[in-house]
A and B are shown apart, each in its own frame.
Chain A
Amino acid sequence: MSYTERVIDHYENPRNVGSLDKNDPNVGTGLVGAPSCGDVMKLQIKVNNGVIEEAKFKTFGCGSAIASSSLATEWMKGKSLDEAQKIKNIEIAHYLSLPPVKIHCSVLAEDAIKAAIEDYKSKNKGEMADAA
Chain B
Amino acid sequence: MKNQIDYFELLHLPRSFDIDLDALEKAYITHQQKYHPDTQQGINACEKLKLMQQSVLINEAYQILKDPLKRAAYMLGCLHKEERINDSDLLEEIFDLQEEAGALSSEMDIKNFLEKIEFDIQKTFAVLGALLNENNLKDAKSLYFRAKYLSEIYKKLSF
Q: Which residues of A pack against B, CB within 8 Å?
A: 31-38, 40, 42, 58, 60, 104, 107-108, 111, 115
Contact = CB atoms under 8 A, between A and B. Distances in A.
Task: Name, among B81, B82, B92, B98, the residue most crowded by chain A CB atoms within 10 Å (CB to CB).
Answer: B82
B94 interface: yes
A58 B90 CA distance: 16
Interface stretch (B54-62, B132-140, B147-155): B147-155
Given A31-B92, A32-B91, A38-B149, A60 B83 contact: no
Interface size class of B (residues with CB under 8 A): 20 to 34
Contacts of A58: 95
Nearest to B88: A31
A71 to B, nearest CB: 18
Interface of B: 78, 81-88, 90-92, 94-95, 98, 144-145, 148-149, 152-153, 156
Main secondary structure, interface of B, reads: helix
B91 A34 contact: no
Contacts of A60: 94-95, 98
Given A35-B145, A35-B149, A40 B95 contact: yes
A32 B86 contact: yes
Contacts of A34: 82-85
Contacts of B84: 32-34, 104, 107-108, 111
Contacts of B149: 33, 35, 38, 40
